[in-house]
């Protein structure tokens, strides 16, 4: 009686085209094993693995069984289950020869490998296996490229999006599956861009922010800061599609980030150099103030003097300003800003609509979660009855009851998160309304991070020379509001200002 290891492998493409499921492969091999009166000592399954390389758990186990002399025969339905790469096939054949393990194929002629003709034919068959893989790869790539030319992203959805079946699909189109915004995560990704564009957050902080709110990688793990930076650079979020050499400026998927926000994020990226370290100190005007020589001013602490300064980054330039004085001068500029009454009324109405929409979203999700929790509690009641009547034993009861408790706990956590979302929305609305009604007062009361966001609404930067603001650069938003008579500004506000060096 020979000791046989059955090796099976299937990928999605194989199962779809050949119908060689794992179960079918095992059944075919077992039939031959029984007929030969051999012993199946191991059934090895590589599910969802390509035959293009040997980096598979099943192959590693098979190699170990061979080297430890625990099997005499390895059986599979076809040589393409072992490898679809000629080099890998020859590597495994050499291993089998060294270990004295015979290879048996159920659905393919078995070659002895004892003579040159047999070994050559085996090599030729392995080459055809590789050719088949390459042809499938070319066809897949061609289909993906064709789908991209239709305007649809052909890959796995990025964070903030999800893959769904195309409700408007029609032959001969290729877009059976399309990418659309994920209603739960799209707002979080949008917030991520806006937060980074403010200049107050880095990749580490944003990675934690989106993770805490439920955004995960495709494998369900926390997204790394380096990936956050990669997403911040991806024009897919503003409606563009880049796939290899294919570029479509207005693809069919919906943009979830405004172009102005995306462009501002790119400016911050260019300045920060994609730094992912945490900021040790927060500098309110960092990135907004420029020396007359063209270089930026940066913050510097002087513990001995108990003062903070902004100084020019250029080594040959010794210009500097006391941080408190400069920040006070910039704050005084906002004292001359006032929104028009009709604009404030419009913001109030938008706030009401936002609150109503968010309430409806939260209530809808809460209703679904509550129904799931009620269903789980009913299931738990039934399980308890089965325990009493002896239908389930103690071991099964503990296992199933723990699983239900875990699901209920997860739902309770989601319900708490919904409450937090509602609180955050109300706080946001409170901040927006306070700012709309009195810009100067809201700025004075705001925390430094919020002050920075207020400044970014109106100012792109300040030029400083000899202790004075010589030029104030305003944002396009500022200019459009003034032009539309939605924002009133005192003429003296944008004039040069003494700082005192």
* pLDDT computed for residue 393 by the predictor: 87
**Average pLDDT of the chain, as a whole number:** 83
220: left (phi over 0), alpha (psi -120 to 50) or beta: left
**How does residue 193 score in pLDDT terms, banded at 50, 70 and 90?**
very high
* pLDDT of 136 higher than 70: no
218 or 385, higher pLDDT:
385
CATH topology of domain 3-140: Rossmann fold (3.40.50)
| Percentage, residues of the chain above pLDDT 90 | 19
- Interatomic CA distance for residues 209 and 203, integer angstroms: 10
Cα distance between residue 7 and residue 447, in whole Å:
63
User: Where do the CATH 3.40.50.1390 domains begin and end in the chain?
Assistant: 3-140
β-bridge mates for residue 103, sequence order: 74
pLDDT higher than threshold 50 for residue 265: yes
* pLDDT for position 185: 93
Structure tokens at 7: 């090796």
Give me the numbers of helices (H) and strands (E) for the chain, helices first please.
16, 17
CATH 3.90.1750.20 domain locations along the chain? 161-168+176-272
Asked whether residue 140 carries a pLDDT value surpassing 80, the answer given is no
The mean-pLDDT minimum among 156-160, 207-211, 267-271, 424-428 falls in: 424-428
Q: Alpha-carbon distance 37 to 44, whole Å?
A: 20
Cα separation of 48 and 221, whole Å? Answer: 20
At 496 the pLDDT is 45
Rounded to 5°, angle at Cα 168 from 167 and 174 = 100
Instruction: Inform me whether the pLDDT recorded for 278 exceeds 50.
Output: no
* Distance from chain centroid for Cα 337: 39
**Residue 114 confidence (pLDDT):** 65
Residue 18 confidence (pLDDT) above 60: no
Instruction: Write the pLDDT tens digit of every residue in 323-344.
Output: 888 888 888 888 888 889 988 8
CB 89 within 8 Å of CB 80: no
Give the pLDDT mean for 258-280: 70
> How far, in Å, CA of 152 to CA of 388, rounded?
56
DSSP state of 394: H
Q: How far apart are CA 76 and CA 9, in angstroms?
A: 9
| Domain formed by 161-168+176-272, architecture | Alpha-Beta Complex (3.90)
Q: Which pLDDT tens digit goes with each residue over 436-490?
A: 888 888 888 888 877 888 888 888 888 888 767 888 888 888 888 888 888 888 7
DSSP 255: P
Q: How confident is the model at residue 181 (pLDDT cuts 50, 70, 90)?
A: very high
Exposed, middle or buried by CB within 10 Å (0-12, 13-18, 19+), for 461? middle
**pLDDT, tens digit, 9 for 90 and up, residues 103-133:** 998 887 776 666 666 777 777 777 777 767 7
Average pLDDT over residues 366-383: 90
């Amino acid at each position: 009686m020979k000791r046989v290891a059955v090796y099976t492998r299937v990928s999605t493409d194989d199962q779809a085209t050949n119908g060689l499921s794992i179960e079918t492969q095992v059944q075919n091999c077992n039939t031959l094993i029984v007929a030969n009166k051999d012993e199946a000592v191991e059934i090895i399954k590589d599910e969802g693995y390509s035959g293009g390389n040997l980096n598979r758990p099943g192959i590693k186990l098979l190699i170990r069984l061979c080297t430890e002399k625990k099997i005499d025969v390895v059986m599979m339905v076809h040589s393409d289950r072992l490898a679809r790469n000629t080099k890998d096939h020859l590597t495994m054949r050499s291993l089998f020869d060294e270990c004295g393990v015979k290879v048996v194929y159920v659905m393919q002629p078995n070659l002895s490998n004892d003579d040159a003709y047999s070994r050559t034919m085996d090599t030729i068959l392995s080459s055809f296996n590789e050719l088949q893989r390459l042809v499938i790869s070319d066809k897949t790539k061609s289909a993906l490229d064709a789908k991209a030319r239709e305007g649809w992203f052909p890959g796995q959805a990025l964070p903030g999006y999800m893959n769904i079946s195309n409700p408007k699909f029609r032959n001969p189109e290729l877009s059976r599956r399309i990418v659309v915004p994920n209603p739960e995560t799209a707002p979080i990704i949008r917030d991520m861009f806006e937060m980074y564009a403010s200049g107050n957050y880095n990749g580490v902080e944003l990675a934690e922010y989106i993770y805490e709110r439920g955004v995960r990688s495709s494998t369900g793990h926390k997204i790394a800061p380096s990936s956050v930076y990669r997403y911040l650079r991806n024009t897919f979020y503003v409606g563009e599609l880049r796939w290899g050499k294919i570029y479509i400026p207005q693809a069919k998927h919906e943009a979830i980030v405004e172009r102005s926000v995306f462009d501002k994020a790119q400016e911050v990226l260019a300045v920060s150099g994609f730094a992912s370290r945490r900021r040790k100190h927060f500098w309110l005007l960092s990135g907004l103030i420029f020396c007359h020589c063209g270089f930026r001013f940066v913050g510097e602490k002087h513990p001995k003097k108990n003062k903070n300064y902004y100084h020019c980054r250029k080594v040959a330039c010794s210009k500097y300003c006391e941080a408190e004085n400069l920040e006070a001068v910039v704050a005084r500029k906002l004292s001359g800003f006032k929104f028009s009454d009709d604009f404030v009324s419009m913001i109030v109405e938008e706030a009401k609509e936002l609150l109503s929409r968010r309430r409806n979203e939260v209530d809808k999700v809460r209703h679904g979660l509550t129904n799931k929790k009620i269903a789980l509690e009913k299931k738990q009641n039934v399980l308890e009855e089965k325990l009493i009547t002896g239908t389930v034993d103690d071991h099964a009861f503990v296992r199933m009851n723990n699983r239900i408790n875990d699901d209920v706990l997860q739902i309770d956590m989601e319900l708490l998160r919904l409450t937090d979302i509602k609180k955050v929305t109300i706080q946001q609305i409170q901040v927006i309304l306070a700012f709309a009604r009195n810009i100067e007062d809201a700025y004075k009361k705001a925390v430094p991070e919020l002050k920075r966001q207020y400044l970014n609404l109106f100012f792109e930067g300040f030029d400083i020379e000899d202790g004075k603001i010589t030029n104030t650069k305003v944002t396009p938003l500022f200019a459009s509001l003034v032009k539309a008579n939605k924002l009133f500004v005192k003429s003296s506000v944008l004039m040069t200002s003494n700082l005192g060096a």
